[in-house]
Structure 1
């Protein structure tokens, strides 16, 4: 019966099989399954052309598109290598090349993310100085990070969309105000150093008086690797803003603050 089962299942493996991985925190990733062994899964995510190695202890389940369950509760129910399924414990030395078991600790998995930012302008141009504006409000931001981009080992670049609100005003004497809502798109490159990630932001878009640009950097502060903490991101962030003025020309300010995000 075992031989018949393996033959039937193997007949579907002339081409890569697709499936969905559910992580311990409930997030998912799907794509082509390249291999499954005792310690890891090799998967090429949708939209990418290169595989990612995912450690088995991070995986709650792996189900193929046809409904077959290969992994449950961090344990492989069926292995996969070189286009063949086989049960755990079966020797595959004579089946040809077998994927090696790499000791990979950190894995990049593209996800959607929502991030909020609260910062305060610390450095300002002369046109935004206390001479012209004596009340400065915090800068508020909301961004959405997409899973679309480039991902290489510990380096990544993904697309982002961002809204930001800024407000410089003068309360004494004649009231004036320099404020508005910025709508921007851009990219966010970054890389990992151990559990900590360092990322950058480059965005351009529309401000209240015309076009503008944001460039900045963030240092990720790990909050934990268990449960929901694995999906929450906290960063120390600094950003440089260059925007147009209503009377013409450009002005700038540099703010710093905290960013909180959630991956799903």
Structure 2
């Protein structure tokens, strides 16, 4: 029996392919995929010279370095043995270059860090005398805490922003600016790898409380780079970092207290660069 197993492993080594296993808790194993069946994945992790058996029950996804998904959402999409891909429940082998299969995207709650910059486009009447308008900068943190159902999600976020508006040639006029510290929620939904999300935050501004409501279109910048430049050595070496990048096109409405007790507002547009971890 031991000889048969070793022989089977030796055959698998001849047809191993590189890939990454992702578990439910977000941890990963990179290595050579020797075979995939309906119950197990045999992988030789990087740094080892013998395969390990990973039960499918513990696996969220298995993605090959060429982008092919063998497991998604704990569902086996393709079997792999001796260099051949086979559809589950069928005997027909699938050529690596000619395979086609449906892809299921699965929500994996995680942390995200986003750097934002934007510029006021529409301003309230009480905002008009500020004619030295500077870009708004922000840093937001998205948390894995929230509600995740199918393609829909809503998670808790925190944000710090800096804004600075002045009056030209009037140094005695009180500037309107400072730091804003906010918390809120961000609901949204996925369409494949893309997502549309909303933002609702409230917090403390330079003269009192304020509120932000906005929306964004999230683009998987990392996937776009990998699909276009995946064969570049630098991109290959930085694949895990690049894959976690995203870019957002954002619109926001800001309502902010003033020192005189009133409020003012501005509507701005901008972009943010994010990193998921």
- The TM-score bracket by the shorter chain reads 0.5 to 0.7
Distance 1:56 1:253 in 2: 46
How is 1:8-157 mapped onto 2 (pairs within 5 angstroms)?
20-23=25-28, 37=39, 41=56, 54-57=60-63, 104-129=103-128, 132-157=129-154
Q: 1:172: Cα distance to partner?
A: 2.0
Distance 1:58 1:200 in 2: 33
Q: 1:20: Cα distance to partner?
A: 4.6
Output one character per residue of 1:216-254: Cα deviation in whole Å (capped at 9) or x when no partner: 011112224342222011000111000111101211001
1:230 alignment counterpart: 243
Structure with the higher fraction of residues in helix conformation: 2
Structure 1 unaligned regions, length at least 5? 3-17, 26-35, 44-52, 60-73, 80-87, 89-101
Distance 1:204 1:58 in 2: 42
Out of 166, 186, 194, which is 1:196 matched to?
194
Aligned 8 A contact 1:243 1:252 in 2: yes
Runs of 4 or more consecutive aligned structure 1 residues displaced over 3 Å after TM superposition:
18-21, 36-43
Change in Cα spacing, 1:112 to 1:125, as seen in structure 2 (3 Å) is same
Change in Cα spacing, 1:224 to 1:120, as seen in structure 2 (3 Å) is same
Aligned 8 A contact 1:150 1:158 in 2: yes
TM-score (norm 2): 0.62
Q: 1:103: Cα distance to partner?
A: 5.4
1:67 alignment counterpart: none
1:33 alignment counterpart: none
Note if 1:245 corresponds to 2:258. yes
Change in Cα spacing, 1:187 to 1:19, as seen in structure 2 (3 Å) is closer
Distance 2:102 2:40 in 1: 12
Out of 163, 171, 175, which is 2:168 matched to?
171
Structure 2 unaligned regions, length at least 5? 3-22, 31-37, 42-54, 75-80, 82-100, 227-238
